[in-house]
Amino acid sequence: MPKTLLDVDGLTVRFEVKRGSGWGKKSYLYAVDDISFEVKQGETLSIVGESGSGKTTAALAVARLVPAHSGTVMLDDGNVLEKQGEDLRQTRQKVQFIFQDPYSSLNPRKRADSIVREPLDNLSEKSEDEKTTIVAELFEAVGLRPEQMKLFPHQFSGGQRQRIGIARALATQPELIICDEPVSALDVAVQAQILNLLRKLQREYNLTYLFISHDLGVVQHMSDAIAVMYMGKIVEHADRISLFTSPRHPYTQALLSAVPTVDRTQRAKQKRILIPGDPPDPINLPKGCRFANRCPIAEAQCSQTEPELKDVGQGHKVACHLV
Ligand SMILES: Nc1ncnc2c1ncn2[C@@H]1O[C@H](COP(=O)(O)OP(=O)(O)OP(=O)(O)O)[C@@H](O)[C@H]1O
Ligand code: SF4
Ligand SMILES: [Mg+2]
């Protein structure tokens, strides 16, 4: 059994928002509302959900890129949220980010090799020669050619730019890599290449991934476990096989029905469930279940009390009164 590398407990991130013109009290938007999950070393946990569900905010908080309101983020037995000074610098080496848009996340005026080298310059104490060797090795590891090192971002294709982003994320030999929609901006054919590269690198370097996507189809071959988020909450959390073969939450069932399956017999049986309506106002959340206004099986109790995330057997957790 691999050890737990990342253990997030009760993580909450809120943003102060201005509403109306009055002087009244402050309003908060709870982008991430008391979520807990863990990721085992060498494995991938995917966080999936619609736009605005809080995936990016949760990931940024884990990496200390936005401040958390409460909760703990344990990485290697230390709470990331409490690190300061030299400890924080070391944590930043251990946790790296791959962003959605490989173009806007790469400095257009820098050559590819200095982009990949940047985290080493900022965070590590390696010698200049060592850094040069590491950068050359990383270019090879991500499938770029040595003569491409001196090119600028605009001279690469989208997929190649994401390879630069991946090489940069690997530079400090991190333990945890957070991939925030790393293939959403790419063509489908290129998506598969980048996902394969991420899996190859995971095996080679025993990397742990927190993988974020709005698309269950993208994560189906990447994940060991999947957490489904809706309006700041985790509504279902299970290992990949349980989630894909027996989704329990109505929201997960709807998301899953939109994923094309390779198996044609299954596709014939599968009926696409459309989710009606819009999510509620995040600043003025309803009292009970946040999914109640869109849920096809909602009952009276659903708009009264908020369902808790409960284990329904073998670690499969669901937040729904009717499960
Ligand atoms: N800096 C901020 N200030 C105020 N509200 C914010 C801020 N960042 C995010 N939010 C709000 O927090 C909620 C969650 O946003 P977040 O970007 O984490 O969602 P997401 O699941 O990553 O969505 P997407 O799929 O569009 O990337 C949204 O309602 C968003 O408007
Ligand atoms: S608690 Fe009720 S409204 Fe919420 S998902 Fe379950 S059945 Fe639907
Ligand atoms: Mg996002």
For the chain, give every domain's residue range.
Answer: 4-230, 247-323
pLDDT of the chain, 323 residues: tens digit per residue? 889 999 999 999 999 998 766 666 788 999 999 999 999 999 999 999 999 999 999 999 999 999 999 999 999 879 999 999 999 999 999 999 999 887 788 999 999 999 999 999 998 889 999 999 999 999 999 999 999 999 999 999 999 999 999 999 999 999 999 999 999 999 988 999 999 999 999 999 999 999 999 999 899 989 999 999 999 999 999 999 999 999 999 999 999 988 876 454 554 556 777 788 889 999 999 999 999 999 999 999 999 999 999 999 999 999 999 99
Residues with Cβ within 6 A of ligand 1? 15, 29, 31, 49, 51-57, 214, 282
Token reading at 279: 């999510």
Residue with tokens 């944590």: 91
Does 298 sit in the ligand 2 pocket, CB within 6 Å? Answer: yes
What distance in Å separates the CA atoms of residue 306 and residue 290, rounded to the nearest whole number?
8
Instruction: Specify the residue with its C-alpha closest to ligand 1, atom 6.
Output: 15
> 51 C-alpha to center of ligand 1: Å?
8
> 288 C-alpha to center of ligand 2: Å?
9
Q: Which helix (H) or strand (E) segment is 26 a member of?
A: none
What distance in Å separates the CA atoms of residue 224 and residue 45, rounded to the nearest whole number?
6
What distance in Å separates the CA atoms of residue 319 and residue 323, rounded to the nearest whole number?
8
Please return the burial class of 66, using the count of CB atoms within 10 Å of its CB with bins 0-12, 13-18 and 19+.
middle
List, in order, residues 6 or more apart from 60 with CB less than 8 Å away.
13, 66
Instruction: Specify the residue with its C-alpha closest to ligand 1, atom 17.
Output: 56
What distance in Å separates the CA atoms of residue 97 and residue 178, rounded to the nearest whole number?
5
Name the superfamily (CATH) of residues 4-230. Answer: P-loop containing nucleotide triphosphate hydrolases (3.40.50.300)
Token reading at 143: 């499938």
Question: Which ligand is in closest contact with the Cα of 53?
Answer: 1
> 270 C-alpha to center of ligand 1: Å?
31
Does 179 sit in the ligand 2 pocket, CB within 6 Å? Answer: no
* Angle between helix 112-123 and 158-170 (nearest 10): 20
